Amino acid sequence: MNIIVCIKQVPNTTDVKIDSETGRLKREGVESIVNPFDEYAIEEAVRLKEKNPGSKVTVITMGPPQAESVLRDALSKGADEGVLVCDRAFGGADTLATAYALSMAIKHLGNFDVIFCGKQATDGDTAQVGPGIAEMLDIAHVAYVKKINNISDKSITVERLMEDGYDVIESSLPVLMTVVKEINIPRLPSLKGKINSKKAVIKTLTAVDIGADEKRIGLNGSPTQVKKVFTPTQKTVEGEKFVGEPDVVASAIVAKFQEIGIV
């Protein structure tokens, strides 16, 4: 079974500074870590591999050369291969361009049965890239998976976390799943994993390698453009107070609702 895990490098802090000029996160001088939700994706992929001998886990990330460190981190926890999708042309990508680039990289890698992503990244919090990749690969996806019940050569049964319980979903393979923290407890890196990850060669793929359309990557391929980042000023509006007998007040309120078009 070929398993792919898409991970992201995020700043290890909750108080991220924002560049007032560009409106983007300031990543300089902040320690980077694997997006915490992706840790569950890595763990679930490694568990799936352990249950299906002969399987292989490939972790993939798009980012600057430094993003190699999160791939090595995943290797120390049991992943087999790391792939860094890295090119200046990818810079400034929004979730659409990122999903496109990753889907092209995954197509380039070829064979895959299952793709795991964390449910969202802790910096952008969009939760769009995982499902976006699945759409571009034209495969099924299930978001917010909290348990894999069963997997065979052709299909998979999973539990999807909902606000009021969970759905049991059966899907064909290949499938992309985004996972929630309820799915497992990620392991700590082992000594063997650490030693191997240090020695491992990380494969780097450029825009040309994956045959990406230059109009669909980086800033060019990003319809989301950050204009400005600001904290909205709080508006204070004078309210209107209705006082008196209940029936009088009630009709006054209804009249007001009609006046402003609510009812």
Partner 1 sequence: MEYFLTEEEQMMIETARNVAIEKVKPIREHYDEKEEFPWEIVKEFAQADLCGVYIPEEYGGFGKGIMGLVLVVEELCKVDGAIALTLAATALGTLPILIAGNEAQKNKYLPDIASGKKLAAFGLTEAGAGSDATGMSTTAVKEGDYYILNGTKCFITNGGEAETYTIFAKTNPLRGARGISCFILEKGMKGFDFGKKEKKMGIKASSTRELIFDNCKVHKDQLLGKEGHGLMIVQATLDNSRPGVAAQALGIAAGALDEAVAYARKRVQFGQPIASFQGIQHMLADMATEVEAARALLYATARMIDSNVGKPEKEKKRTSKESAMAKLLCSETAMKVTTNAVQIFGGYGYSREYPVEKMMRDAKITTLYEGTSQIQKNEIALNLIKESAAKNK
Cβ 190 to partner 1, closest distance in Å?
5
Stretch that binds partner 1, among 36-44, 150-158, 191-199, 203-211 (CB under 8 A): 191-199
CA nearest 203: which of 2, 54, 32, 60? 60
Strand ranges across the sheet with 165-172: 165-172, 155-162, 140-151, 175-179, 114-118, 2-6, 56-62, 81-85, 203-205
Closer CB to partner 1, residue 33 or residue 205? 33
CA nearest 83: which of 102, 111, 96, 55? 102
CA nearest 93: which of 133, 58, 140? 133
Residue type, 125: D
Is residue 201 involved in binding partner 1 (CB under 8 A)? no
Structure tokens at 93: 């990508």
Among the listed residues 15, 164, 188, 255, the single contact to partner 1 using CB under 8 A: 188
Is residue 187 involved in binding partner 1 (CB under 8 A)? yes
DSSP alpha helix (H) spans, the chain? 36-51, 68-76, 95-109, 129-137, 191-199, 246-260
Closer CB to partner 1, residue 108 or residue 194? 194
Name the percent of the chain in helix, strand, coil, to the closest 5: 30, 25, 45
Among the listed residues 192, 213, 219, 251, the single contact to partner 1 using CB under 8 A: 192
Is residue 51 involved in binding partner 1 (CB under 8 A)? no
Cβ 76 to partner 1, closest distance in Å?
9
Q: How far apart are the first and last CA of the chain?
A: 58
Is residue 195 involved in binding partner 1 (CB under 8 A)? yes
Cβ 78 to partner 1, closest distance in Å?
10
Is residue 189 involved in binding partner 1 (CB under 8 A)? yes
Is residue 12 involved in binding partner 1 (CB under 8 A)? no
Cβ 58 to partner 1, closest distance in Å?
22
Is residue 26 involved in binding partner 1 (CB under 8 A)? no
Residues that bind partner 1 (CB under 8 A): 187-195, 198
